Amino acid sequence: MRWGMLIDLKKCVGCHACTVACQNENHLPLAMKYCKVYKVGPEGEYPNLTSYNIPIACMHCQEAPCVEGCPSGASHHREDGTVSINPKKCVGCRFCLLVCPYGVRHMNKETGAVEKCTLCVERLETGEVTRCTETCQLKARHVGDLDDPDSELVRIIHKENARPLYEHLGTKPSIYYIMP
């Protein structure tokens, strides 16, 4: 079992609904975003242009620098493959913020612990989709089990040749993107 997600950049319009819905779901401080969305481009010269949007949150790396680097064991892999942080163990050394190549971790000043996207595991466990998937008007997101070759998720990943972001870093992310 390994939870994973697929984000279809052909569909995403960069509306930030996922950003906001996630903030509400997780009761985040106003300025803290587990999921950011960047607009790429337009690249080229008017009128020969291309542009797309890309949401970025924790990639739930299998070879996670944050987990490897965490001295206290607060950052860890769950059995379902997601990377999780135990706030009771976090000492606040911020080493994980330094080593995460995707820049998706945040120090929550209120709790003194580091936080990031949880892939809504509590929701996944009750059969719901993640909040960002639910709220996406464009249906650009899919969640599922990457270990199950018959899952809808794996099927689309193969069909669309979806790839993780910055594979060359070798972190083996569990988030895949359909490139535009």
Partner 1 sequence: MEQKQEYWGWLATGYFFLAAMGAMMAAVVAMLDVLGVTVIDQIYGWVSFAALVITGCGSLLLMVELTHIFRAYLVYARPKSIMCMGSYLLTSFLGLTFVYTTFFIYFVPWSGWVLVRKLVAVLDIVAALGLVVYPGLELAEARGRSFWQGSGLVALFLVSATSTGLAGVLLMLIFFELSGSEYLGVLSTLLTVSLVLQLVLLGSYLWGVRLNGTKEGRQAILNMVKGPYCVNFWGGVVVLGTLIPLGLSILGKMVPFAVGAAALVLIGGLFFRRTFLQAAERISMPGEENQQINDQQTKELAAALESRWMEKARWLKNQCS
Partner 2 sequence: MSEYKKVACHFCHMNCGMVAQVEDGVITKVTGDPEHPFNQGAQCPRGASALDHLNHPNRINFPLKRVGNRGAGQFERVSWEEALGDITAKLVELKDTYGAETLSSLGGTNRTDDFARRRFFNLFGSPNVAHTAPVCWIPNFLVEAASYGWAAFDPEIMNTRCVVIWGHNPATSYLPEMRGLLQAKENGAKIIVIDPIFSETAAKADLWLPVRPGSDNALALAWLNVIITEGLYDYEFVEEWTVGFEELSERVESYTPEWAEEKTGVSAELIAQAARMYAAAKPACIQWGVATDQFGRGSSAGAQARAALRIITGNLDVPGGDVMPGPHPEFITDWEMELNELLPESQRQKQLGADKFKLNTWPGYQLLTDNMVRVWGKSIPAEWFCEANAPMLFRAMITSQPYPVKACIVLANNPLVSYANSRLVYQALKSLDLLVVMDYWMTPSALLADYVLPAASWLERPVMTTTYGVSDWLIASERAIEPMFERKTDVDFWRELGLRLGQAEYWPWENDEEIFQYRLAPIGLETDSYEEFVQCYRMAFAPREYRKYQERGVATPSGKVELKSSILEQLGYDPLPHYVEPPFGSEARPEQAKAYPLTLVAGGGFMPFFHSEHREVTRIRLLRPYPRVAINPELAKKMSIHSNEWVWIETPTGRVKQQAFVTSAVAPDVIQAERGWWFPEKPTVDPELMGVFESNINVCLDDDPDTCDEACGSWCTRAVMCRIRKVGEGD
Asked if 30 is part of the footprint of partner 1 (rule: CB under 8 A), the reply reads: yes
The CB-of-150 to ligand SF4 minimum distance in angstroms stands at: 25
The CB-of-97 to partner 2 minimum distance in angstroms stands at: 21
**How far does the chain reach from its first CA to its final CA, in angstroms?**
28
> In this structure, how many other beta carbons lie within 10 angstroms of the beta carbon of residue 26?
14
Residues written for the chain: 180
Q: Are 156 and 163 in contact (CB under 8 A)?
A: no
Q: Which residues bind ligand SF4 (CB under 6 A)?
A: 12-18, 37, 53, 55, 58-61, 64-66, 83, 100, 102, 104-105, 116, 135-136, 138, 140-141, 171
Asked if 17 is part of the footprint of partner 2 (rule: CB under 8 A), the reply reads: yes
Footprint (CB under 8 A) of partner 1, residues 75-114: 89-95, 97-103, 107, 112-113
Q: How far apart are CA 109 and CA 113, in angstroms?
A: 7
Mode of pairing for the β-strands spanning 48-56 and 141-145: unpaired
Say which entry of partner 2, ligand SF4, partner 1, none residue 166 contacts (CB below 5 to 8 A, set by partner kind).
partner 1
